[in-house]
Structure 1
Amino acid sequence: MAENSSLFQLSDNLSVLSDDSKPPDTGLGRYFSNTTHTIFDEIVPSANQEAIQKPSVSASPRPAFDSFLTCTPANNFHDDSILENSEQVSDHVTASDVHRDAWIPSDQTRKVLASIATSTPGSNFPDRENLTMPGLTLQGDLTDAIKEASIHFLGEDENIHRNVLTVSDVTQDERGLRNLIQAGCYRAAINLTGRLLGIYGQGFGKINYPSKHTPHSLQLWFTRLALLAKLKHVEVLENESKPFGNLDKPDMFFTFYPELYGTKPGSMACFAFRLLLAEIPAYCNKPKLALDNLYKVLATVRQIVKNLKMGLGEDGGRDGGHLKFTTTERDDAIRLWIGRQSRVLISIVNCALTLKNYILAVDILEALSENNDWSLEQKQILKSAIGRVLLLLGDVSAAEKQFAVGKDVSTARELTDRGLMAVAQNAFQEAYSCFKKASTLEPANIMLINNMAVCLLYNGQLQAAVHLLESAVIRNPSKGLQEALLLNICTLYELHTTHSMQPKLHLLRQLNRYKGDAIGVQCLKLTL
């Protein structure tokens, strides 16, 4: 049920330190990041990071520990934003658009772009095979499932208490899109992206119809696909992402539109969009294909780093290379792309975990940990991540060496590591004590409360486990009402009593009053 939150929190921290974009929040944030400073930069501001939690629904018949189930791409590594400042300094502040937008096109795409650059404006008409022609496959708007379930089970009167934003309540622009996402109204946000993309001639039924692209339209697509991934609308996600391929068509580059951008080099699509497209097959139960895609992205990134270190431009050319870049600019560019390289490697770790290839995951994390540029805290995060993957592998002794947990345990991470070690040794009372101590240091950490409840369950204290989870929801509904926790508590209700319907309906009432439209009501295990 509750997926590998603890392990994944650590790993996405690595993503933060390595990525070129804004710090990921909880899966969504990483995709709402931008490689250039645009109107979307604050789409998920860091102040709201804790408010957006990952959905985590499984068919598992029993509650589970956060960090012990298999990773699924839609529930990717989480982030505590501890590396936010250093990450932003390394990209947004120092790296120029020239470096952030850079990419190496294929030979065929390079030839088409060169032909356009040497032709009289308006005289070059590329073949359809050289065009990216996306469109919506979803006709109409997504509905608010929480509202529908509340009316069905609780009656029309309950709808009075439903006070969430809809697509019609916000401005029909990027500001409205930001407001919807910040409010946790992801379905409404998807609806708004559909309306805005329709302005570009890329609405419903427009797949395979030529249309012009801009950084703005591509950012809308990036946001839409990230939302679809977050909500696990797999079929729509797969169909709407296909036209983009690997973002290598000529019309994905600025030089395809000389009348608009002149000779400006680089890709109009941000790097995070490129990474998302590479990962999408894993959301669609095709992790091996995603792994292949990610290694292709990694190969290009490594070539870019190599070119920069040789004094060339990112694409290997001298025009715009060392003749124009200062030493400081080049050093910044190298740091940027080495960071992106680490980010791709973390995505590969995610895929490896999905495939249960724990050896590959450990190998990559160990290679990352050998980088001398990490701070002490970052190195500790890496070691902890390695230890937790080793626990998934079942190698308790090797994990213990990575954790290196001594007598003086002072941080929540160290206490969590000790707790996970105790779980692996079936010492649930000791694990409970560790998670409880960690929870006093991080009282808002729902993952720790969930783990405490599962420890109580395995110690035969079912009623205490139910009470603990219920208290987390009552104490802070906006944070406690998460799919992982709701699924676990509803499972405990079913174990606790044959009359589980009423407490489930109470949770539905809480969802209706306190949450947006992003949570899937199936986590309440109600039969519609």
Structure 2
Amino acid sequence: MDAPESESPPVSSSPITSISASAVDDPLSSPYASLNSHCHDLSALQDLACRGAWRTILDKVARSRSLSLLSRPHEHLIYLTFNVLALVKLRRFADAQQEFETLDDDLGSKQYLFESFPDQYPNQKPGSMVPFALRWLHAHLPFTLGDRQLSLDRLYVLLHFIRDTKLSRNRDSVTEISIDLWKKRETFVINSIVSHHLTLKEFKVCLYLLKSETGKTEDPFMVSKLGYVQMQYGDLEGAKRSFELVEKMVEKSEGEDANLNLKNLVGRNKALIYLVGKDYVSAVREYEECMERDASDFVAINNKALCLMYLRDLSDSIKVLESALERVPTVALNETLVVNLCSMYELAYVNHADIKKTLSTWIARVAPDDFDTSCTRI
């Protein structure tokens, strides 16, 4: 059974998911009438990615390529990005690598600059046409193929690229929205790097990275991540101080209508402290408050169920997870949550195999293409 879900900066539990809807941010920086004016049928690809219809994306990309519907360099890069993203989501990593082999390994090459094609982009500002998602996938893919060090090297290179871009955009007085986007990307990549180091329990590196970042910006999600790493490192008092700082940040922003995510972040942090102290009753109370604010908070849902199991209330624990799947299937259909539900079935029922088959059949109807059905362990 999986451990309670932890906190992290505002990215999806899978980094790939969180970049799918913004896979073409860079080429779309200029004002046009619609998404499709940038690239053939782009809005349809965006919609399919948001719905997790990765196999359909592969079909659409293959069809567009075969019919020569893509005419300009940036269109080929955008479609390649969606294709690689879909292949990675479907765990076809070798095929994704073959797509990258059609590109120059240096994504900063002149052939990927708008100004290298003045006839095709006469009014376009100079700069790269490489989507940010493609840069991140280029860094992430070696890890999936077993080359962790190359992946880390590329992530650090990407982090430097982001910081250089932020500096240049600050100098050029680019809009706040654009600068804020690059700040979010910086947080995203730092979180990816920290996750890599956490897998090998390289806590000192994680603490150094997070402390250097939290010293530069008041990001409650990043400070929460610091607290979680401190907790794993055994520094419970340090984690408490970090979580208290997060609470103060959120209280300060409440005058500006602190959103549900921030309020739930504080609640989940409190619950984690209770959980470590084995005060499961108090932890359940905090998670319930989070769920009242946001019924789709799958971290709170999953952890409440685990706390109830630790309290030997297996029946209610199962009900919490089943109820979540019934109420918000697309959000609650999280592989960690399903693994834990199946483990509880195994503990609670003699005929657990039949129950898991029923669950698996239901999942097959509602899950996105990339859902790992093996998590039901049938």
Alignment partner of 1:219 out of 54, 72, 78: 78
Alignment partner of 2:205 out of 331, 348, 360: 360
CA distance in 2, matches of 1:252, 1:229: 23
CA distance in 2, matches of 1:502, 1:330: 57
1:267 aligns with 2:128: yes
Instruction: Within 5 Å, give how 1:214-363 maps onto structure 2.
Output: 214-244=73-103, 245-261=105-121, 265-304=126-165, 328-329=173-174, 340-363=185-208
Instruction: Within 5 Å, give how 1:5-44 maps onto structure 2.
Output: 6-8=6-8, 10-12=9-11, 27-33=16-22, 34-36=24-26, 38=28
Q: Which structure 1 residue ranges, 5 or more long, are not aligned?
A: 14-23, 39-91, 98-171, 203-211, 312-324
Distance change in 2, residues 1:262/1:487 (3 Å)? same
Instruction: Within 5 Å, give how 1:378-417 maps onto structure 2.
Output: 378=219, 380-404=220-244, 411-417=263-269
Deviations 1:221-272 (CA, angstroms, capped at 9, x unpaired): 1122222333333332333334432414443223443442359632221233
Tell me the residue number matched to 2:255.
none
> What amino acid maps onto 1:7 in structure 2?
E
Deviations 1:405-460 (CA, angstroms, capped at 9, x unpaired): 88999932222111111222233333222222322222221221111111122222
Q: How far did 1:185 drift?
A: 2.0
Q: How far did 1:298 drift?
A: 2.9
1:489 aligns with 2:357: no
CA distance in 2, matches of 1:457, 1:506: 22
Instruction: Within 5 Å, give how 1:184-195 maps onto structure 2.
Output: 184-195=52-63
Tell me the residue number matched to 2:64.
196
Tell me the residue number matched to 1:111.
none
Distance change in 2, residues 1:465/1:7 (3 Å)? same
SS in 2 for 1:217: helix
Q: How far did 1:4 drift?
A: 7.6
> Where has structure 1 moved over 6 Å in runs of 4 or more?
330-336, 405-410
Same amino acid, percent of matched pairs: 24
SS in 2 for 1:492: helix
Q: How far did 1:388 drift?
A: 1.2
Q: How far did 1:387 drift?
A: 0.6
What is the number of residues matched between the two proteins? 355
SS in 1 for 2:120: helix
> What amino acid maps onto 2:25 in structure 1?
T
Mapped contact 1:247–1:269 kept (Cα < 8 A): yes
Alignment partner of 1:425 out of 270, 277, 300: 277
CA distance in 2, matches of 1:330, 1:513: 43
TM-score, length-scaled by structure 1: 0.58
SS in 2 for 1:12: coil
Between structure 1 and structure 2, the one with the greater Rg is: 1
SS in 2 for 1:519: coil
Distance change in 2, residues 1:478/1:248 (3 Å)? closer
SS in 1 for 2:52: coil
CA distance in 1, matches of 2:2, 2:292: 21
Q: Which structure 2 residue ranges, 5 or more long, are not aligned?
A: 32-39, 252-261
Mapped contact 2:100–2:138 kept (Cα < 8 A): yes
SS in 2 for 1:272: helix
User: Which structure's relative contact order is higher, taking Cα pairs within 8 Å and 6+ residues apart?
Assistant: 1
Distance change in 2, residues 1:337/1:182 (3 Å)? closer
Q: How far did 1:305 drift?
A: 5.2
Higher helix share: 2
Q: How far did 1:403 drift?
A: 1.0
CA distance in 1, matches of 2:55, 2:298: 24
CA distance in 1, matches of 2:19, 2:2: 20
